[in-house]
Structure 1
Amino acid sequence: MFQNICAIPLDHDLFTQAVHPEEPIVSVGLSSGHVQTYRLPAGASDDDDETLASESGFGHIETAWKTRRHKGSCRALAFAIDGSQLYSAGTDGIVKAADTATGNVVAKIAVPLDPTSNAVDAPSLIHALSPQTLLLGTDSSALHLYDLRALGPKANSKPEQTHHPHDDYISSITPLPPSAASTSGFSKQWVSTGGTTVAVTDLRRGVMVRSEDQEEELLCSVMVSGLSKKGSSVGEKVVVGGGNGVLTLWERGVWDDQDERITVDRSPGGGESIDSMALLPQGVGPGGKVVAVGLGNGALRFVKIGANQVIAELSHDELEKEAVVGLGFDATGRMISGGGRMVKIWGEASIYGHQEEREEEEAENGVAGAKHSRDSEDEDSDEEMDDSSDDERPSQKRKKRKKGKGGKQQQKHGILGFSGLD
């Protein structure tokens, strides 16, 4: 289904990643507090941009910018709806909004302190719901809503609203598609997971419903629309990944309990945790509704919703077995997986397989070469380095996440270069 065409090594453990909604750009947040943004080549079938693609269409990766953005770990990243800004949240209790192109900080948020301890309430995730609304979840289970129009260079600490949809930290947020009557075209309701429950919150009415205790940790979620409308089904389900290797399906509008279960991993002693998920874009993959799943042991599996079965398997990390904490698809349809100290780019085998064969033949004749780009840093890089935040590992944020050594390794298709350029 997919094959690895690029591997990007990282100097510290990956905590979070975000994929640009319109351009082939990926950003990563590290345990050291660094945020790094990479621009990928235009795509194997699009070689019009000479600065991003080689004559073969594969090209090289450009490090757009990198900086030590937070004094603690960078816990969460999210792009604005239009991709113009990148929001990062750290264990230092600060959220920063940066220009995507330059990395320059344009606005800040001081996360409210945990009222029970009067200490920093570390962010667990961040999500841009619309051009006006930013959602911020924390370890104390708080869900803060901010008006993006009110943000500025001075740290603002007062959210527009605060809710507590769960009893534990908020692990995922999935917007529900707007209704046909919506005038803005943006979501006003979202599903969240936290601890062992699923909840639905409305922008105006607050927390509307919370599910029964599922007796398993819920870690990630994704919306799947366009399913069969049989019986009472509306053709829309939220797929939730749990800490025991099971996907649960929730019918939209029926939030008290799960509708179906799909066992993704049957490892001895309990299934591996499902730490990340992403829906394959239309036109990518085998067709139908397929969800890519990242597991706590570094495995990647693909589940067809409807048939409710695993149809393919890959591995992000075969040696260190680090959890896949980031998973998404860029604007060209390439899959981006992240975990441990590595980000991998995957292309559809039907596209990149033939190209690779041709380039291997060229390499034998001494034709192939590699290109590298220079790194650029912004003003935050002048902060004093303190790697004590490396002691915090992604496994401390999610209880079921398996720990590993986090070592670097070279991959078959090279580092910082696409297939045929290693």
Structure 2
Amino acid sequence: MFETLCAIPLESDLFAQAIHPEEPIVAVGLASGHVQTYRLPAGASDGSDDETLASENGFGHVETAWKTRRHKGSCRTLAYSVDGSSLYSAGTDGIVKVADSATGRVTAKITLPSDAVTGGLDAPTLVHALSPQSLILGTDSAALHLYDIRDRGAKSTLTPQATHRPHDDYVSSLTPLPATEASTSGFSKQWVTTGGSTLAVTDLRRGVMVRSEDQEEELLSSVMVTGLSRKGTSVGEKVLVGGGNGVLTLWERGVWDDQDERITVDKSKGGGESLDVIALVPDGIGPGGKIAAVGLGNGALRFVKLGQNKVIDELKHDVLGQEGVIALGFDVTGRMISGGGRNVNVWGEKTWQDVAEEEEEDETPINGKRGLESDSDDSEEEEPEGSSEEEEPKQKRKKRKKGKGGKQAKGHGILHFSGLD
């Protein structure tokens, strides 16, 4: 379904990745505390005048939009605002920073509340912009804080509007439920979370509404799927949940006490690999129908066709199997972006010619190479190097099978897609 267009080497381990909702831009948060954004070549589906992908016309390259040392300690999580104008980053320093996504300049800061039990630092695990008004923040202590961000200032000391604890363990994933037809804003007001071995649904105003039975397996990732077949009592909307044992479970919307179906994605000896991240393949890409892309703890990427409920293709983010896939998504052009270890890989859809050549030659696409860009002039955000070392092992334990990656190539330059002059 996809082939590697290029690989972006990173200077330290990737902890977070976010994809801009309206432009071909990807942001990364690193163990070193750095946040960096890359602009990918424009494509036909992003609204540009050029109807040919840069990877096809020979002029494609990836540029660094900006880069800065954003947090003292690792950058745990990233998220764009609904319109993409702001980028939220949260680190093990217990601070959430709101930055202009175009320049990287910080416009506001939020200090997370202390751990309610220990009184100490409660590091973030998840950030999600539910709407232009509401921001959700999850922490190590399993707290889920809700903020109204309309009145924030440059040095804001916002307090949460509400705090919920839908799980006994930290929230491992959050998926908004689509707004109902009765909604006047069009924005979601309910969301599904996974944490430990349970799934829960929380409402913006009413709090935690339902929590599933103990599934006796770790639930790690989730994504919403609509437009499925409406057979029997099915409403055609399900949440896919990735487990720690290689099994993908399907949950019917409105029936949250227990899972509806199971799809085995990995049958590795001694127990399946963890399904750490899930993303839906955009309509029009691949063989048709609803397809879920799943990132595994051993660096594999597998594609599951829903309805048939079977794996139809497999790729490798990390060919050595040492780095798990911790981030996965699609940009506005339909390119798949996977992250893990010290690499972000950009994938493009295979053409029929590509498929025919593979069948004849059985060759693996060669990754592109990229030089090291210079830092941005956002000097006021720079923090002393090395201050995050003590934070790194703790975050690594929260991500399975994270290992050491290769070092970035020296020198200046741009990232050319593989096979281009």
TM over 0.5: yes
Does 2:350 correspond to 1:376? Answer: no
In the alignment, is the contact (CA less than 8 A) between 2:300 and 2:321 conserved in 1?
no
The offset of 1:321, in angstroms, is: 2.1
Q: Alpha carbons of 1:380 and 1:274: their partners in 2 closer, same or farther (altered >3 Å)?
A: farther
Matches within 5 A, 1:99-178: 99-178=100-179
Matches within 5 A, 1:229-308: 229-308=230-309
Structure 1 portions without partners, runs of 5+: 358-368
Does 2:294 correspond to 1:327? Answer: no
Distance 2:92 2:418 in 1: 37
Distance 2:272 2:370 in 1: 41
Matches within 5 A, 1:403-422: 403-408=402-407, 416-421=415-420
Secondary structure of the 1:392 match is helix
In the alignment, is the contact (CA less than 8 A) between 1:62 and 1:372 conserved in 2?
no
Superposition TM-score, scaled by structure 2 size: 0.90
The offset of 1:394, in angstroms, is: 4.8
In the alignment, is the contact (CA less than 8 A) between 1:6 and 1:418 conserved in 2?
yes
Secondary structure of the 2:125 match is strand
The offset of 1:390, in angstroms, is: 6.5
The offset of 1:281, in angstroms, is: 1.1
Q: Alpha carbons of 1:311 and 1:45: their partners in 2 closer, same or farther (altered >3 Å)?
A: same
* Counterpart residue type for residue 128 of structure 1: A
Q: Deviations over 1:290-349 (max 9, x none)?
A: 000000000000001111100000000012520100000000000000000000000001
Q: Alpha carbons of 1:92 and 1:372: their partners in 2 closer, same or farther (altered >3 Å)?
A: closer
In the alignment, is the contact (CA less than 8 A) between 1:43 and 1:58 conserved in 2?
no
Q: Deviations over 1:132-191 (max 9, x none)?
A: 100111111100001110222114241111111010000111000111111111100000
Q: Alpha carbons of 1:122 and 1:372: their partners in 2 closer, same or farther (altered >3 Å)?
A: closer
Report the identity percentage: 71
In the alignment, is the contact (CA less than 8 A) between 1:297 and 1:324 conserved in 2?
yes
Distance 1:128 1:118 in 2: 27
Secondary structure of the 1:29 match is strand
Counterpart residue number, 2:366: none
Distance 2:244 2:56 in 1: 45
Matches within 5 A, 1:9-408: 9-43=9-43, 48=49, 53=54, 56=57, 58-319=59-320, 321-350=322-351, 353=354, 375-386=375-386, 387-389=388-390, 391-392=392-393, 394-398=395-399, 401-408=400-407
Distance 2:352 2:376 in 1: 32
Q: Deviations over 1:2-53 (max 9, x none)?
A: 0000100001000010000110000000011110000000037998569x95
Q: Deviations over 1:351-390 (max 9, x none)?
A: 8949x99xxxxxxxxxxx9999755241345321124157
* Counterpart residue type for residue 63 of structure 1: T
**Of 276-285 and 188-197, the range deviating more from structure 2:** 276-285
The offset of 1:119, in angstroms, is: 0.8
Aligned residues: 404
List structure 1 segments (4+ residues) > 3 angstroms apart after TM superposition: 44-50, 52-55, 351-354, 369-375
In the alignment, is the contact (CA less than 8 A) between 2:245 and 2:271 conserved in 1?
yes
* Counterpart residue type for residue 417 of structure 1: H
Superposition TM-score, scaled by structure 1 size: 0.90
Distance 2:211 2:96 in 1: 28
* Counterpart residue type for residue 86 of structure 1: L
Q: Alpha carbons of 1:165 and 1:159: their partners in 2 closer, same or farther (altered >3 Å)?
A: same
Counterpart residue number, 1:366: none
Distance 1:211 1:66 in 2: 41
Q: Alpha carbons of 1:372 and 1:35: their partners in 2 closer, same or farther (altered >3 Å)?
A: closer
In the alignment, is the contact (CA less than 8 A) between 2:62 and 2:414 conserved in 1?
no
Aligned-residue Cα RMSD (Å) equals 2.6
Q: Alpha carbons of 1:9 and 1:224: their partners in 2 closer, same or farther (altered >3 Å)?
A: same
